[in-house]
């Protein structure tokens, strides 16, 4: 009996705090995978990219190349320099702290990616398995083995965050929440491009994910139906010589009400006429 209660309680915690549990699991697993390399020193680009920059250098990256030493390939990546400056300020030359931070960032990115998977109807077991496989992939290991390469985790984190805010935009019924969610998504996308210019690939990736999300959640058909009804109502309004709005059918959809096209009934002047 006691064993059954404990198992039941653990399942409840697992379901309610799945993302948190996933983060802890991935962080511990990632630490174990990287354990033998945690104390490896700076390598290659790490030596000149991850350091504390002075104010003049930080200002210059907004109008010049991101690498103030002019060693790396030129490009417009101001937020990459700022990210390197912040982590150098926080952790100095403590490579263990740097790698644990990147493992945590990678785990957070994978948790948000798992949230997107869940929205697309993918099972929790597949989400866990995919997170573990990504952590053990060679290309993923570069992101915390080679410290300068950890900037790609920032790209991933900003990308999945912007997609989640777009999900919130479509899900929320509050006009204020939808506006905030959309603006946050735009800001995160712009920030991602300022991290690395190749983040432009997130535009088609976001479009594909959104189409899949709207299709799976049946929102795509609903929005298209609402749009057709809206066009019909607008056409009826334009062809009416009187400055009154035609009634919206009972199945006219909440979309029409949200954008303020009439109500269920005609205006007072129309009814009198």
Contact between 152 and 77 under an 8 Å Cβ cutoff? The reply is no
**What pTM value is reported for the model?**
0.75
Rounded CA-CA distance 79/197 in Å is 11
Q: Is the pLDDT of residue 130 over 50?
A: yes
| Minimum mean pLDDT range among 24-38, 99-113, 138-152 | 138-152
Q: Please, which pLDDT band fits residue 6 given cuts at 50, 70 and 90?
A: low
> What pLDDT is recorded for position 263?
46
Closest CA relative to residue 190, chosen from 76, 67, 49? 76
Rounded CA-CA distance 180/255 in Å is 19
Q: Is the pLDDT of residue 250 over 60?
A: no
Q: Is the pLDDT of residue 269 over 50?
A: no
- Once rounded to an integer, what is the mean pLDDT over residues 104-118? 92
Closest CA relative to residue 106, chosen from 54, 57, 145? 145
Burial of 231 (0-12, 13-18, 19+ CB in 10 A): exposed
> What pLDDT is recorded for position 27?
94
Average pLDDT in the chain: 81
- Once rounded to an integer, what is the mean pLDDT over residues 221-231? 62
Q: Comparing 64 with 139, which gets the higher pLDDT?
A: 64
Q: What is the DSSP string of 129-147?
A: HHHHHHHHSHHHHHHHHSG
79 to each of 46, 61, 85, how far by Cα in Å?
16, 9, 10
Percent of the chain with pLDDT over 90: 46
Q: Comparing 13 with 245, which gets the higher pLDDT?
A: 13
- Once rounded to an integer, what is the mean pLDDT over residues 123-141? 88
Q: Comparing 121 with 223, which gets the higher pLDDT?
A: 121
Rounded CA-CA distance 67/57 in Å is 9
What are the tens digits of pLDDT across the range 164-186?
999 999 888 888 999 999 999 99
What are the tens digits of pLDDT across the range 196-225?
999 999 999 999 998 888 888 776 666 666
């Amino acid at each position: 009996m006691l064993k059954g209660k404990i198992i039941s309680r653990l399942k409840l915690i697992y379901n309610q705090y799945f993302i948190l549990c996933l983060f802890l699991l991935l962080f511990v697993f990632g630490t174990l995978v990287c354990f033998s390399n945690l104390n490896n020193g700076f390598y290659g680009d790490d030596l000149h990219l991850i350091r504390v920059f002075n104010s003049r250098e930080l200002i210059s990256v907004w109008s010049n190349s991101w690498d103030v030493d002019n060693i790396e390939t030129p490009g417009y990546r101001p937020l990459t320099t700022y990210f390197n400056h912040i982590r150098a300020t926080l952790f100095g030359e403590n490579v263990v702290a740097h790698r644990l931070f990147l493992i945590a960032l990678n785990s957070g990115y994978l948790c948000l990616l798992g949230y997107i998977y869940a929205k697309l109807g993918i099972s929790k077991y597949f989400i866990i398995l995919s997170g573990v496989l990504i952590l053990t992939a060679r290309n993923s290991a570069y992101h915390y083995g080679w410290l300068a390469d950890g900037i790609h985790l920032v790209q991933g984190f900003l990308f999945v965050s912007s997609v989640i805010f777009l999900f919130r935009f479509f899900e929320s019924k509050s006009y204020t929440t939808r506006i905030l969610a959309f603006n946050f998504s735009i800001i995160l996308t712009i920030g991602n491009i300022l991290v690395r210019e190749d983040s432009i690939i997130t535009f088609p990736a976001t479009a594909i994910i959104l189409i899949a999300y709207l299709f799976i959640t049946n929102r795509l058909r609903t929005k298209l139906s609402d749009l057709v009804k809206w066009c019909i109502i607008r056409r009826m309004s334009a062809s009416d010589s009187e400055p009154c709005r035609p009634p919206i059918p009972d199945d006219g959809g909440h979309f029409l009400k949200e954008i303020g096209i009439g109500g269920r009934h005609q205006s007072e002047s129309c009814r009198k006429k």
